[in-house]
Structure formats: structure tokens, C-alpha cells
Amino acid sequence: MVQTREENVVLAMTPAQARERLERVVGKVAGVLRGNEEVVRLLIAAIIARGHVLIEDVPGVGKTTLARAAAKVLGCSFARVQFTADMLPADVLGVHVLHDGDFVFKKGPIFAQLVLADEVNRASPKTQSAMLEAMSERQVTVDDQTFVLDDIFTVLATQNPVEHHGAYPLPESQLDRFMVRLTIGYPPPHEEKALLTEPVGKSPARILDELQPVLGPRQVMAIADLAAKVEIADPVAEYLLALVRATREHTDILMGCSPRGSMALAALCRAWAFLAGRSYVLPDDVKQLAPTVLVHRIVATGGAAAGTRTRALTVIEEIIAQVPAPR
């Protein structure tokens, strides 16, 4: 592929220039999902860290809007898959069809760069498992043929944590593929009031329609390479590992965090530090990001809320409070 002059300029940008672009990305997406800049920053950091994102929240708070806005501002191809109980793996991955006397592979929505798996827990376990190879290896296998996905391939999956009728809870093996679990929450009162009183031209839908790319896929990957070079000093790495080991030893945890989880936390910390304008990770980065990376990777026990995300979050917060951070 021939690179344009603009692409060459952006690919050669300094870390400071890359951060400036990322701040513009965060600002534009946050302009659509108002009152949730930290959620937007976490989402962008996860994409830069080459991780998949699980957005778990009640309907109507902007999960789909967030995914669409991120795709537009990052200049990435986007596909939305509404998961239902009758969906088959071929509906996601693709299928061979007869064309001019020969079978040709028709790609499914999984081949987009940013894929919104909406209400992913509505699909059957068979369809859910069809995504595992794509999420972990960035490739799919159909009829003994392997197809490579884009380097920037990212799954943004949503699910409603309250409604369980007709839903299939995600198994731990699939949850572990998500780098982070985010919740958007309800907007602040003044922001929700603004949604009711502002002119139509300032509505999230109109702002979303008018969004223009700040970056492109090649530029996003170039920035990801810069973020991956952020340093994690030995004391900070030991602190991160101490938190992870504590999840494996805690009496209220049946299953602790996997090595994939510790690597995901390190990668997210690098991207977060890069967004903050640093070339090194701080212990505070690990402490701040640990809940969003670890909470969906453990299985908690004990109490009336056994196994729930609320219980898991409480245990993770206890661990963070107990494990001393380096100075």
C-alpha cells in the first residue's frame, strides 16, 4: 500500500505529537459521551494497548454511541453485531458461498477493525466461542482456512449485567480475553439536563454524525508501538505481580487472575502512562487500573452476593488496600 505524505508525517511523529493527537481523540469522543471522560480515556488506552473491551452496563447509557464515536475518531472500519440466541458462528465469522461455479469466502463482521459485539451474552455458547480465536490470535479459521485479521482488530462487547432472561453468561475463558471491563454509569444531573434542553444540533446523535477522523489505523498502530516502549521499573513490576498473586491466594477467591491478566494490566499501564505524558509507569497507575483489569478475571465466593461483580470488586479493593506500593 502506498503511503500518503500525511501518513508518513504522522507515522514519524514524536511521542509528544502522538499524545496531542490522542488528547484530541479523547476530547472528541468525550464530547459525544458527556460526563464520562475517564471512561473514554480508559477505552482509548485499551485500544492503544491492543486489548479488547467489555462494557457492562444497563441499557440506554451510551455503550453503542461510545463504540461508534471511537471508531469514527480513530478512522477505523466499524461493524456492529447485534447478538441474539439464534445467531450462528457463520453470522459473525463469515461463510463460503457459491459464486460463478466456485466457492468464495464472504467475510463476516468480525473482519472490521473495531467490532461492536452488542449484548454478547445473548448469543449461544457456540457463537460466543467462535470469537475466542479472533480475540486471542487475531485470526479466524473457517472450513480449514485461516484468515488473518487487521493488526488493530479490537472487540468492544456490551452486556446488561441486570437482565438475565434469555442470556448466556460469558465463561471465564472468554472473559479473560477482555483486557478491561468498563461501566459508563448514569450521566451527572447537569449533563442529563443538557441532553433535554440543548438544541437538536448539539445532541449526541448529531455530534456523532459530524465527527471526523483524527487518526487512521496505521497511525493508531504507530502510537501503540510508542506506548509499548513505556518503561516499567522492577519495583513497579513487582508491585503489579504482588497484586496478581494476592488474587490467587485470597481466601474469598476461588479462581485468581491468570498470567494473561498480569500482562494485560502491564500493557494498559503503559498506554495510560503514555496518555499522561510519561515514559514510565507509576505505582499509582497500577493501583488505579487494577480493578478494571482484574475484577472480571476472578471468581469470588462468600456472602449473599457470591460470584457477583460487586463482590469481586470489593475483594480486589481489599487486596489493593493491603498490598504495599513501592515509594
Q: What is the pLDDT of residues 284-311, one digit of tens each?
A: 999 999 999 999 998 887 644 444 677 8
Q: What is the CATH number of the domain that holds 148?
A: 3.40.50.300
pLDDT digits (tens, 9 = 90+) for 42-93: 999 999 999 999 998 888 888 889 999 999 999 999 999 999 889 999 999 9
Cell numbers for 111: 473482519
- CA–CA separation, 75 and 78 (whole Å): 9
Do the strands 154-159 and 114-118 form a parallel or antiparallel pair, or are they unpaired?
A: parallel
DSSP SS3 for 14: coil
Are 28 and 168 found together in one domain? yes
The whole domain housing 308 covers 230-322
Return the number of other C-beta atoms located less than 10 Å from residue 13's C-beta.
Answer: 16
- Average pLDDT over the chain reads 88
Q: Which residues contact 6 (CB under 8 A, 6 or more apart)?
A: none
Q: Are residues 239 and 126 in the same domain?
A: no
- pLDDT score of 101 more than 90: no
All residues at 6 or more sequence positions from 250 whose CB lies less than 8 Å from its CB, including other chains: 256, 315, 318, 319
DSSP lists the bridge partners of residue 139 as 148
**In this structure, are 112 and 151 located in the same domain?**
yes
Q: Within this chain, do residues 45 and 95 fall inside the same structural domain, yes or no?
A: yes
What's the structural domain count of the chain?
2
User: 124 and 15, same structural domain?
Assistant: yes
Whose CA is closest to 108, among 49, 63, 159, 153?
A: 153
- pTM (two decimals): 0.90
Is 97 part of a structural domain of the chain?
A: yes
Task: Tell me which residue of 157, 166, 223 sits closest to 22, measured CA to CA.
Answer: 223
- Final residue belonging to a domain, choices 156, 191, 225: 225
Torsions phi, psi for 33 (to 5 deg):
-95, 75
Within-domain flag for 283: yes
Q: Are residues 277 and 139 in the same domain?
A: no
Tell me, yes or no, whether 196 and 276 share the same domain: no
Alpha carbons 241 and 65: distance in angstroms, whole number = 35
Residue 327 placed within a domain: no
What nine digits make up the cell of 153?
Answer: 482488530
Q: Is 257 a member of any domain?
A: yes
- Tell me the C-alpha distance between 85 and 122, whole Å: 6
pLDDT digits (tens, 9 = 90+) for 219-262: 999 999 999 999 999 999 999 999 999 999 998 888 899 999 99
Q: Is 122 part of a structural domain of the chain?
A: yes
